[in-house]
Structure 1
Amino acid sequence: GYKLVLLNSCVKHELAGSPYNDRRNSCENVVKHIAAKHPEAHFDTLRDCTWEQLEEVKAEIGEEDYKRAHFVLGEKDRVLAVCDALNAGDYETVGKKMYETHEGLSKEYEVSCEELDFLNDIAKENGVTGSRIMGGGFGGCTINLVKEELYDQFIADAKAKYSAKYGKEPKVIDVVISDGSRKIC
């Protein structure tokens, strides 16, 4: 079986400006450029755009906007792949997509931080099935999909290595998996 566990980095980086608004503006700018090339189509958000359309405007939008949009389209594909994998009970694919999401959030969307990347690396080193940023990033937690037999060693290693590097242990929060919210009559 598997366990889900959050590792709280116990850091929250204060950021100048509004990084979330910057990313939203990047995505809206890309949609505006794509829409200008395709007046016959209707685009509410970047999710309505295709990979081909993104490539069409790559030269016009600048590297940062391109990276942000590339992450969003990749994440759309990953979410659909994870839905299929969950329905099939394929947790290895779910885990692989979690790592891909973390990589995208770190390198393309740039909302990770050193501490979260460090925890993600420890997860990989310990054979954890999947690990990624949970929430808005810039600190906070990673969420980890861990085989039960690897759990104790992973937690011990994460605590020891994180403490040695940052002078404090990550906080361990076990997640209880349930059927989710539903109406009770």
Structure 2
Amino acid sequence: MTTKLLSEDQRDCLQEIANVAMGQSADRLARLLDVFVVLSIPTVGILTPSDIAMTLQSLQSDDDSTNSLTGVCQGFIGGGIAGEALLIFNGTNYQDLAELLRYQHNRDIQNELLMDTTNVLGGACLHSLARQLDTQFSLGPPTLLGGSSDPTSNLQKRKVRWSEALVIEINYSIEHHRVNCDLLLVISENCIDGLLEKLDYLLE
């Protein structure tokens, strides 16, 4: 990882914005499911596609081969900023998630569970991020990553048109339930300057 494009002030500002967005999205999920959501400190950095694939691989528990990574990708654009939100589920017990969402769990609704959680967490986080940056994001339709293969392989096979991206990583887990996911907000390099301009305006 390299952070050469980010000054210390810009990094701190973006991390604080991400922290607020994370808190608001977690609060929405907590109220919806009547649970306590455990949060981590958001991380901010510049990553290559290979770095992102390695990050996803690191999320897979070595001692839990029965729970592979699954994920949902959703594009966003607005105010000169465009990117993708990747919500990656790791070590999640979908029976737990189904009960929290008041679904009768079966294999056929797993994808629906992932989509619904993405709509709550990803949507709330992105809209909060946009408000703080004084802009609006249009969100694309969420699409499943993986299928017969895991998200890491899926991402490695995708044709990306950037060599590095600004990535904000946020972890969510639900207390007393085996539900854990990481939200990666990936902003491609041709949009980083636009984001930095907004951060500089906020810092003035």
- Shared fold per TM-score greater than 0.5: no
User: TM-score normalised to the size of structure 2?
Assistant: 0.28
Query: Which structure has the larger Rg?
Result: 1
Scaled by the length of structure 1, the TM-score of the pair is 0.30
- Bigger share in helix: 1
